Amino acid sequence: MSEIEAETIGLAIRTDARPRVRVATASPRQVLAIVSVGICLANLDLFIVNVGLPNIAQEFRGASLEDLSWILNGYAIGYAALLVFFGRLAERHSRNLSFLLGVALFTAASAACALAPNVELLVVARVAQAAGAALMTPTSIGLLLASFPPDQRAGAVRTWTAIGGLAAALGPLAGGVLVTFDWRWIFIVNVPIGVVALIIGWLKLPEVPGHDVPRPSWWAALLVTSGIGALTFGIVKANDWGWSSRGVMLGFAVAGLSLAAFAWHCLRSKNPFVDPALFTVRPFTGATLVMAPYSAAFGAMLLSVALWEQTVWGWSALKTGLAIAPGPLLVPFTSLLFAGRLIARFGAAAVVSAGIMSFAGGLLIWATLLGADPNMPAFVVGMMLTGVGVGLTFPTLMGVGAGSLPPSSFATGSGIINMIRQAALAIGVAIFVAILATPATMADRIAAFQRGWWIMIAITIAGFVPNYLFIRRRSDR
């Protein structure tokens, strides 16, 4: 989550309601420390699992890459579908209790992941993790805004965002270290952290009552979840069953019907899950249209680097994590120190274009220079370019999208963009899995990776079109 996204979510909390807040035993900085645990857990698990996939495959010998991809996609789809739903639902209830419920669910689901005897139950536990993360994220912002005085809120949100970004950046490295003991440790480590956060949070967090707002539609959340899930399933299974097979066609049909019904709900309902009026704002539409292909390529990239180093070059999980780390570490560094200044000088569209080119440049290096023999310099340079690209693009798109909306729509708009981002991540992983298929030889495997990177370059570059049509022209006016 970017700094701008977090600030726009925070601004959307209705300060005019002046909720009655119990006198807290925790200072504002202690509240910041407690809620930062939640965002660390949520962000860490976006990246830490990729490094452990080969080790999970070794234990569950009957699991294919298609099966393993659902360990990533289950989390991404669940988080995407539930973030907006839980964010709006939590507005009706106490922020501190909702946050603690999210931590408890995430912690229990992490224990279930560590104990999972097969891939199927591991995927179910990952979806439960995503539900906990989707509940923790918006409620933690509500607690921050209620605890800090107005003149300190922006700084608190920046700190909260930077901590979350650092946790995400350390994910590959932490995963590499923990997998050297056992892949289950990447989930076990969440349990004591979550338990401590629950105890301290129960004793220290202030009570922040909810507001009287409309209840979100659970039916709409189910439709968008089934639609994205069925689409991902169809793409993943296309190689095994064939694109024209009954199962794949049924998956695409369910996806089409579910997403069409979701769109009908949004257009007809008096309380739409996603307000269609938001898409009449051109910069918001442009931001979502750029975010979708960019995030798909990003999800594919995260999966590809972990698999390439361990299955093609035969590196250990620890060495893989160390090689990947420079890219994620550059994301918070670039977004916090450079993105804002570049936007002020050159405009948002130019920064997004630079981010697209940098990300595509990293993929280009891998597609042209990586082969059977390990090439650490080329890999690290490509990783750094993708990290700079993400740091320039994601926060800028969040700022353009949410910042172009009226204040009353800040939270909803940023939630929608984040939902699209997570859904696209799952679709990107599914596309890359379909491209890799089951190569017979190492040469075929290398060719499949290179083909996948070229396709992701094309998908990334597709973002230039909506960036020019919706964001650049708006900025010019």
Tokens standing for residue 473: 């022209």
pLDDT in the model for residue 162: 66
Domain ranges of the chain: 3-207+218-476
Of the CATH numbers 3.40.50.970, 3.30.565.10, 1.20.1250.20, 3.40.50.300, which one belongs to the domain with range 3-207+218-476?
Answer: 1.20.1250.20
The half-sphere exposure of 163 on its side-chain side, counting CA atoms within 13 A, is 17
pLDDT digits (tens, 9 = 90+) for 326-371: 988 888 888 878 888 898 899 889 999 999 999 999 999 999 999 9
pLDDT in the model for residue 18: 42
Q: Following DSSP, what letter does each residue of 335-359 receive, concatenated?
A: IIIIIHHHHHHH-HHHHHHHHHHHH
Predicted TM-score (pTM) of this structure: 0.83
pLDDT in the model for residue 92: 73
Q: Which residues contact 221 (CB under 8 A, 6 or more apart)?
A: 81, 82, 84, 85, 273
pLDDT in the model for residue 123: 93
SS3 383: helix
The half-sphere exposure of 179 on its side-chain side, counting CA atoms within 13 A, is 28
Low-confidence ranges of the chain (pLDDT < 70): 1-26, 153-155, 157-158, 161-162, 165, 210-213, 407-412, 414, 473-477
pLDDT in the model for residue 240: 75
Q: Following DSSP, what letter does each residue of 59-115 receive, concatenated?
A: HSTT--HHHHHHHHHHHHHHHHHHHHHHHHHHTTS-HHHHHHHHHHHHHHHHHHHHH
